[in-house]
Chain A
Amino acid sequence: MEPNVIELNGLTKKYGSFTAVDDLSLSIRKGEIFGLLGPNGAGKSTTILMMLGLTDPSSGTVAVCGINSTKQPVEVKRKVGYLPEDVGFYDDRTGLENLVYTARLNSMAPAEARDSALQLLERVGLSNDLTKKTGKYSRGMRQRLGLADVLIKNPEVVILDEPTLGIDPAGMREFMELILRLSREEGITVLFSSHHLHQVQQVCDRVGLFVKGRLIAEGDIRSLSQQLFGNEPVMIEAGALHPDKRLQEAIGSIEGVNTVRLENNIFRIGCSRDVTPAIAELIVKSEAGLCYLQKREYGLDDIYNRYFEGGES
């Protein structure tokens, strides 16, 4: 088994009486893409700051690449690339200058810094804009420059805080693909936080659900849905033109069906196994006018919603 690159143990951060992160334990393996998912203010950014040693935890330990972030932040920051939420650059400098500056802060020689900056700019698709002042960059360009900025130190771990915030869908997809490719090619461990479900679902190997400072579930999407919807892993939606109570009861009595709900002429049927043919047959026979039938696997949306329904009540 691969060693754990990020190891959080009982991590807690309190601001006065407010607990931003509550007894968080998490480990992330090498080469993994981990998504930290949660609504705003859930403590995602605070957790990330603690991983980088930019904030001291109230209790608990953080180790990144086996180094304690609280005690040796500089050593950790040598190995970790961090893209802050809404990253900023020196606006009166060009993209290239900004990158070279970062490289030199990482103890690179000027010539070496310039070479790798040029390479990276090429890689993130900014080679036409390298002499442009970053003040004139668009949001998407800044984000890509931020990625180059993170990669220039040849990190073992990349931490991205809300990397896709404010980019249009096309740019977002491009950006996520870039991250995915980099992680696979170079074996970089990626941790990113987001409140955006779909992108996380697309690229992440594992997801941690973060609500009010607590990690309430973690795992890949399949195992998450297993945890949550254990008794009804399959959801079938069936639309009928003339649904009625009798039909609903009939569906409920099919073996394997656990719950049936009727909303806007659509039956939502939670089943313990795939019983689509039986349901279809039943509805067709009842002449209720089957107009729509879909088998769904639970996506993050459902997981997310389910958690927040539970969390609020």
Chain B
Amino acid sequence: MKLFDTSSANGVMHPFRVIVGKEISDHIRSWRFIILAAIILLTCFGALYTSLSNFSKVIKPTDPEDAFFFLKLFTASDGTLPSFLVFISFLGPLLGISLGFDAINTEQNRGTLSRVLAQPVHRDYLINAKFVAALTVIGIMFFALGFLVFGIGLIAVGIPPTAEEFLRIVFFILLSVCYVAFWLNLAIFFSVRFRQAATSALACIAVWLFFSVFYNMIVSLVAKAIMPSEIASEYQMLGFQRFILNLLRVAPGQLFNDASTTLLMPNVRSLGPLTMEQVQGAIPSPLPLGQSLLIVWSQLTALVAGTVIWFGLSYLSFMRREVRSR
């Protein structure tokens, strides 16, 4: 494909790659990114410190999960500081929002949008490049961070991880990137819709707050209202539980939490309620990676679908927009 043809002999790059390159360097140079990266780095090391300092307490010799103690680095916590996983699920959206909320409207307000689009490039190059650049930055950052935690854990604990643990962590990082990409696209969409960067940032944060704080409250209200009586049959209870869980899963954060818990805690064998019959006869051992992936497949698909929907919406409204100067 011509788009990814790196360069010809004299270094002529495809314009799309030129835009992506510029956007990436813009991100890396910006104070916003440096500050966020510093916050995430700090909190992750904090989390790593707590999980390492009470590592011995977490590991129980009888635990079937024992084989996966390396994964505990990402999930264990003594209660004073949240774990790495919790930090990522909390700060990830913030990172996505901060890289995307001013993608298009700032170009417009600075008067650079019409100048760039007057160059021989297709219009969608710009919005695609914004997305690709931000995603690249996020991907590199998360992989660097994950492997850093990995390496420090290796030095501190002294036992190398198994291949399966390594793969689980790689999948977890990929999942986190998808999760951040969701928020990134939401932010890009708002940046196309709203002319003021501040409005779009506020709108993004409102959505994020709604899903991370209020949505759970609303769902629990609904749950209280429609809770079946105590004498209800087992199947009614099951149906009710499933319904509430599915309601919760409208929030992208819930999807991410479900999926990442399954990936990082191999003994999680289902994300919904299980009846006694289903559990009967199950061997209390961790699931292999393939099975864990099967469980999170729907979560992952939903996240990617959400990402694609937001991107599609922003693409549409950007392509339809008339590009005026300022």
Is there a chain A Cβ closer than 8 Å to B120's Cβ?
yes
Is there a chain B Cβ closer than 8 Å to A278's Cβ?
no
A90 and B110 form a contact (CB under 8 A): yes
Chain B residues closer than 8 Å to A78, beta-carbon distance = 120
B110 and A52 form a contact (CB under 8 A): no
A87 and B111 form a contact (CB under 8 A): yes
Chain B residues closer than 8 Å to A90, beta-carbon distance = 26, 110, 112
Q: 1/0 contact trace for B22-40 toward A, CB 8 Å? A: 1000100100000000000
Told that A84-B111, A89-B112 touch, could you supply 8 new A-B pairs with CB distance under 8 A? A49-B322, A49-B324, A74-B122, A75-B120, A77-B121, A84-B114, A85-B325, A85-B326
Which residue from A88, A112, A153 sits with its C-beta under 8 Å from B326? A88
Is there a chain A Cβ closer than 8 Å to B117's Cβ?
yes
User: 6 A-B Cβ contacts within 8 A?
Assistant: A77-B120, A84-B325, A88-B115, A89-B115, A104-B13, A153-B119
Which residue from B116, B120, B122, B325 sits with its C-beta under 8 Å from A161? B325
Chain B residues closer than 8 Å to A81, beta-carbon distance = 118
Which residue from A89, A104, A146 sits with its C-beta under 8 Å from B18? A104
Which 3 A-B pairs give the minimum distances between C-beta atoms? A88-B111, A84-B325, A82-B118
B120 and A101 form a contact (CB under 8 A): no
Which residue from A54, A80, A110 sits with its C-beta under 8 Å from B323? A54
Is there a chain A Cβ closer than 8 Å to B12's Cβ?
yes
Residue in chain B with minimal CB distance to A90: B112
Chain B residues closer than 8 Å to A108, beta-carbon distance = 12
Distance in angstroms from B119 CB to nearest chain A CB is 4
Q: 1/0 contact trace for A144-176 toward B, CB 8 Å? A: 001001000100000001000000000000000
B10 and A54 form a contact (CB under 8 A): no
Q: 1/0 contact trace for A82-103 toward B, CB 8 Å? A: 1011111111100000000110
B18 and A105 form a contact (CB under 8 A): yes
* Interface residue count on the B side (C-beta < 8 Å): 28
> Considering the complex, which residues of chain A in the window 111-148 have a beta carbon less than 8 Å from any beta carbon of chain B?
111-112, 146
Distance in angstroms from A145 CB to nearest chain B CB is 11
Which residue from B11, B111, B114, B121 sits with its C-beta under 8 Å from A109? B11
> Considering the complex, which residues of chain B in the window 141-190 have a beta carbon less than 8 Å from any beta carbon of chain A?
none
A101 and B18 form a contact (CB under 8 A): yes
A105 and B12 form a contact (CB under 8 A): no
B122 and A86 form a contact (CB under 8 A): no
Chain A residues closer than 8 Å to B10, beta-carbon distance = 109, 111-112
B325 and A105 form a contact (CB under 8 A): no
A109 and B19 form a contact (CB under 8 A): no
B115 and A149 form a contact (CB under 8 A): yes
Chain A residues closer than 8 Å to B323, beta-carbon distance = 49, 54-55
Is there a chain A Cβ closer than 8 Å to B15's Cβ?
yes
Residue in chain A with minimal CB distance to B118: A82
Cα–Cα distance between A268 and B121 once the two chains are bound (Å): 56
Chain A residues closer than 8 Å to B11, beta-carbon distance = 109-111
Cα–Cα distance between A146 and B13 once the two chains are bound (Å): 23
Is there a chain B Cβ closer than 8 Å to A107's Cβ?
yes
Is there a chain B Cβ closer than 8 Å to A106's Cβ?
yes
Chain A residues closer than 8 Å to B122, beta-carbon distance = 74
Which residue from A54, A85, A92, A106 sits with its C-beta under 8 Å from B117? A54
